[in-house]
Amino acid sequence: MNTRTARRPLWLSALGLATLILFGVGAILALAVSPPDINQGDLIRIMYAHVSVAWVCFLAVGMTALFGALYLWRGRPMDDVWSVASAEAALFFGALTIIGGMTYSKPTLGVFWDWDAKLTLTALLVTLLVGFFIVRGLVDDPQRRGRVSAVIGLVTLASLPFNYLAAEWFRTLHPAKSINLDGSGITMEAAFLGILLFNVAAAALAFAYFLFERVRLGRLEVQAEASEDDPPPTGEAVHV
Amino acid sequence: MFDSWSAWTWVLIAWFELLLAYGGYLLYLRWRNRRRQNEEG
């Protein structure tokens, strides 16, 4: 296959369009349809943007570790490509979580940042993901590079449960969760919950689009590297 | 400085951040694709 002319498949373009539409509808729901909160007023509209990217960041970290573990097990280059694409998205959504969180925190809690447990663990998560790419840049051997970064992906995953529960364990700056996965229930009102879940779906679709597009490019890069390492024969007869 | 900002100013900044970031990542993917094509000659 000529990698130069490899075109984006139609389904991926359709996914991009669907992402754009869902993002637009999610923004309208958050900005125009959502009622103001009794305590936060219109600032509740920031919550839809902040929480959705934070959840998708967790999802991306999970996929980074999953494909990293698969690479450690099977050693297939494409598992590494998927792991790197997921890590890149995790770093993107992690940074966006912190920046959006600061924008939410200042008008509601009075400060942009505080070294409380939840925020510190989120900063640690982003730092680990930055480390993931720094280490990859330092290792030349592709197999060793894939193995080392897979381990960093697994370590990053190990920090997630602490991050998830930090706001419950240490009641400092970051508010406690309104949606609990331990069965203790949902304290968020239905009007807010529906719009939040819609925006989570929109962010998840954006993640899926970024991931598939990044994997497509990663696959082409791996193919190009492989053809450089193993050039075709130059005019000699080959008996098969 | 920030005390005078209304709630809607913060809301619009937060959503603009999201829009800017998504657009920026798309540009990054495009740049990466072009770089690959140039390297292949």
Q: What is the pLDDT of residues A60-87, one digit of tens each?
A: 999 999 999 999 999 999 999 999 999 9
Q: Across the interface, do B7 and A42 touch by the CB < 8 Å criterion?
A: yes
Q: Crossing angle, helix A190-229 and helix A10-28, to 10 degrees?
A: 150
Give the helix ranges, DSSP H, for chain A.
10-28, 44-74, 77-109, 117-138, 142-169, 190-229
Query: Is the interface score ipTM higher than 0.90?
Result: yes
Q: Across the interface, do B8 and A30 touch by the CB < 8 Å criterion?
A: no
Q: What is the three-class DSSP state of A38?
A: coil
How is residue B40 written in tokens? 């292949």
Residue A109 has pLDDT above 80, yes or no: yes
Q: How close, in Å, is residue B14 to chain A by CA atoms?
A: 6
Residue A19 has pLDDT above 60, yes or no: yes
- CB-based contacts of A79, cutoff 8 Å, min separation 6: A67, A68, A70, A71, A146
Mean pLDDT calculated for residue range A210-230: 88
